[in-house]
């Protein structure tokens, strides 16, 4: 299956435009129909480009064939050919999963060999980039490693990206974008730097050697306190959850971070919708009631995020 037949685009043009105009394209993860609908509705309403992200866990949960039909169906339902939507594999662990997604019709893949030594990371990323090129699929790689949870693996420590390595890496690997590690982490319990700030000094050094290259920020949920409070109010138990302050994300996207990945915030908003509805409407047992509320909660969050944190509203190309 070819991604163009599914009315998808790769991420090259959308990231190039975001880079020059100083906004970020959202990389939003989804795991079910309601989350997919929420993302597309928010991006349609705000006239934003979007990168729909699928992790290995999402593939396992939904089934890749169903995922593909869901995306295809959702885009047909909207029926607007000007909507800029990429379908992207998030944290592809090896060549085979990337190849599988490219063959299935994904328009973009991430090869994440950031846990491997530099030369091995280059070699795996280069192999994926070469295969992807044949199909015009864009490729993201990662250098440095984030702390936090990813596909059931927990990385305890952050390994910041070494600015001295980035030019050599992208030249040798031939990838289209690069995820960098500057202090963010996955999940809702972010690792804090001693001074509580992202390492903008590292980001500055990276952009100095790669001035026109698209950079990606993973682990960029801001973990809004109002959502955490709502979850706890309606029976949840999220203690000391915290994320990346929005101001820092906005600063980052003005420094060549042109793709910002968010998954945890969507999970929080969705959980608020489910918990609140079930508590407030104890008689409800129709999933459309509580999943519909969750979808609305997530959509509203992303409408706001596109306008403020991403700055991508009204940037449909
Ligand atoms: O980067 C991690 C994403 O939040 C995906 O999470 O592996 O639980 O689907 P997941
Ligand atoms: P968060 O856990 O901060 O939402 O990060 C998601 C992510 O990086 C997906 O690749
Ligand atoms: Zn990530």
CA–CA separation, 302 and 317 (whole Å): 19
Cα–Cα distance, 125 to 165 (Å, whole number): 15
Asked if residues 289 and 213 have their Cβ atoms less than 8 Å apart, the reply is: no
**Confidence band (pLDDT; 50, 70, 90) for 103?**
very high
Q: What is the atom index within ligand 1 of the atom nearest the CA of 149?
A: 2
Task: Determine whether 159 is exposed, middle or buried from the number of CB atoms within 10 Å of its CB (0-12, 13-18, 19+).
Answer: middle
Closest ligand 1 atom to the C-alpha of 61? 9
**What spacing in Å lies between the alpha carbon of 220 and ligand 3's midpoint?**
8
Query: What is the predicted pLDDT for the residue at 1?
Result: 84
Ligand 1 centre and the CA of 153: distance in Å?
10
> Quick one: pLDDT at residue 149?
61
| Ligand 1 atom closest to Cα of residue 261 | 1
Question: In a 10 Å sphere around its CB, with 0-12 CB exposed, 13-18 middle and 19+ buried, how is residue 47 labelled?
Answer: middle
Backbone angles phi, psi at 162, to 5 degrees: -90, 115
DSSP 26: E
What kind and span of H or E run contains 142?
strand 138-143
Nearest CA to ligand 2 atom 1: 219
Answer yes or no: is the C-beta of 90 below 6 A from any ligand 2 atom. Answer: yes
Instruction: Tell me which of 102-106, 153-157, 209-213 is least confident.
Output: 153-157
- Residues near 22 by beta carbon (within 8 Å), at least 6 away in sequence: 253, 254, 311
Q: How far is CA 173 from CA 143, 235, 247, in A?
A: 11, 48, 32
Q: What gap in Å lies between CA 84 and CA 13, rounded to an integer?
A: 10
Q: Is the CB of 261 under 6 A from ligand 2?
A: yes
pLDDT in tens, 119-154: 999 999 999 999 999 999 999 999 998 876 655 555
Distance CA 134, CA 72 (A): 22
Lining residues, ligand 1, CB within 6 Å: 29, 55, 57-58, 90-91, 150-151, 186, 263
Mean pLDDT of 14-41: 98
pLDDT tens readout for residues 66-81:
999 999 999 999 999 8
Q: Give residue-wise pLDDT tens across range 216-248.
A: 999 999 999 999 999 999 999 999 999 999 999
Please give the Cα distance from 153 to 174 (Å, whole number). Answer: 27
Residue 280 Cα to ligand 3 midpoint, Å, equals 34
Q: Which of 96-100, 167-171, 192-196, 297-301 has the lowest mean pLDDT?
A: 192-196
Overall average pLDDT of the 38-58 stretch? 98
Q: Which of 39, 151, 262 to mutate to test the pocket of ligand 1 (most atoms within 8 A of CB)?
A: 151
- How far is it, in rounded angstroms, from Cα 141 to Cα 250? 22
Dihedral class, residue 91 (left if φ above 0, else alpha if ψ from -120 to 50, else beta): left
Mean pLDDT of 284-290: 98
Q: How confident is the prediction for the chain on average, in pLDDT?
A: 95
Asked if 145 contacts 99 with a C-beta cutoff of 8 angstroms, the reply is: no
Cβ of 142 below 6 Å from ligand 2: no
CB 170 within 8 A of CB 143: no
CA distance 297 to 293: 6
Instruction: Report the relative pairing of strands 108-111 and 85-92 from DSSP bridges.
Output: parallel
Within 10 Å of residue 212's Cβ, how many Cβ atoms?
9
């Amino acid at each position: 299956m070819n991604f163009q037949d599914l009315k998808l685009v790769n991420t090259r043009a959308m990231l190039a435009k975001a880079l020059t105009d100083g906004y970020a394209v959202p990389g939003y993860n989804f795991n079910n129909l309601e989350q997919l609908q929420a993302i597309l509705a928010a991006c349609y309403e705000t006239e934003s480009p979007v990168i729909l992200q699928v992790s290995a866990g999402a593939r396992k949960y939904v089934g890749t064939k169903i995922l593909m039909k869901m995306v295809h169906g959702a885009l047909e339902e909207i029926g607007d050919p000007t909507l800029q939507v990429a379908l992207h594999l998030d944290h592809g662990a090896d060549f085979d999963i990337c190849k599988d997604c490219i063959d299935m019709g994904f328009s973009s893949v991430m090869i994440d060999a950031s846990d491997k030594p530099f030369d091995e990371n280059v070699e795996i990323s280069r192999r994926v980039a070469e295969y992807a090129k044949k199909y015009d699929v864009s490729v993201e790689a990662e250098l440095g490693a984030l702390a936090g949870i990813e596909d059931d693996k927990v990385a305890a420590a952050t390994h910041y990206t070494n600015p001295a390595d980035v030019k050599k890496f992208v030249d040798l690997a031939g990838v289209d974008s690069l995820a960098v590690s500057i202090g963010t982490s996955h999940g809702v319990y972010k690792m804090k730097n001693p001074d509580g700030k992202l390492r903008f000094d590292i980001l500055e050094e990276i952009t100095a050697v790669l001035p026109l290259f698209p950079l990606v920020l993973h682990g960029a949920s801001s973990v809004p306190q109002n959502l955490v409070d709502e979850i706890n109010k309606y029976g949840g138990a999220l203690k000391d959850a915290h994320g990346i302050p929005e101001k820092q994300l906005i600063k980052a996207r003005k420094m060549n971070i042109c793709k910002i990945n968010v998954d945890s915030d969507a999970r929080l908003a969705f959980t608020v919708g489910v918990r609140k509805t079930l508590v407030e409407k104890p008689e409800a047992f129709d999933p459309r009631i509580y999943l519909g509320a969750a979808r609305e909660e997530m959509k509203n969050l992303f409408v706001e995020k596109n306008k403020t944190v991403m700055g991508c509203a009204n940037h449909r190309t």
